[in-house]
Amino acid sequence: MKHGPMSESLTVGLLLALAGGMLDAYSFINRGEVFATAETGNIVRLSIYLSMGEWREAFHYLLPILAFALGVIAAEALRRRSECRAGRPDGRPGRLRWQWQQPLLLAECGVLAAVSLLPLGPLDPLANILIAFSSAVQVDSFRKFRGCTGSTTMCTGNLRSGTELLFRFLVLPDPQAGEKASVYYRLILAFILGAVLCGRLSLLLGGRTAAVVCVPLLLAFALMF
């Protein structure tokens, strides 16, 4: 299986999935039971509150959905800009080469550091907006790992793809399908580990737990050079 650039390595994917699990658990545990990194749950809750006529509660879940959409737009704009600049010589042989996603990881760390300083309670909507936006940038900027298109901030797509490939591996059998299935299941396990870790850390650190998410993000950043 072709591995591609370091940004598409499984190690980077696992670190980002670990961060994704931590953030989803963080926003749910500490910031008003909102799933800031994956919007399906928020859309369901938005719909329920709309059906009940509870507009204020519905608005509470609408904000991260809109922030997530804006994050995708921002990531796509940055991707297009990087593609336009790709291959242009900079006249500096031997210069340390950055991949276009690396500054985004640093920016996400800055956002999470700011979130960790926001007091719990009245500013939870702002925290969820920031997390949703940065998570959308992450998931849109990192789409493929070891040749497999996957997600680092949610598990539904990974579970579907991994199970489909596992079926092919068991029925055909297809060794490549088995290898690809393991990629998806490892991403899911990393996400679960991140959520469990956040649950434990939240008991000790509360809202400050968001800053800890910077650790796997910075490790991924360093590995991409």
pLDDT digits (tens, 9 = 90+) for 42-61: 999 999 999 999 999 999 89
Where do we find the tokens 């700011």? 114
Confidence of residue 83 (pLDDT cuts 50, 70, 90): confident
The token pair at 146 is 């070891």
How remote is the C-alpha of 163 from its chain's centroid? 21
For the entire predicted model, the pTM comes to 0.90
| CA 72 to each of CA 55, 63, 95, 156, 166: distance values in angstroms, whole numbers, following the listed order | 26, 15, 30, 18, 30
∠ CA 78-81-82, rounded to 5°: 85
Confidence of residue 92 (pLDDT cuts 50, 70, 90): low
The token pair at 204 is 């000790």
pLDDT digits (tens, 9 = 90+) for 132-173: 999 999 999 999 999 999 999 999 999 999 999 999 999 988
Secondary structure element (H or E) that encloses residue 145, with its range: strand 144-145
Confidence of residue 71 (pLDDT cuts 50, 70, 90): very high
Encoded amino acid at 200, one letter: R
- Which residues are within 8 A (CB) of 186 and not within 5 positions of it... i.e. 6 or more apart? 10, 14
Pairs from 36-44 (Cβ < 8 Å, separation ≥ 24)? 36/64, 36/128, 36/131, 36/132, 36/135, 37/131, 37/132, 37/135, 37/139, 37/153, 37/154, 38/153, 38/154, 38/156, 39/64, 39/65, 39/68, 39/132, 40/154, 40/156
- Determine the longest span between alpha carbons in the chain, in angstroms: 63
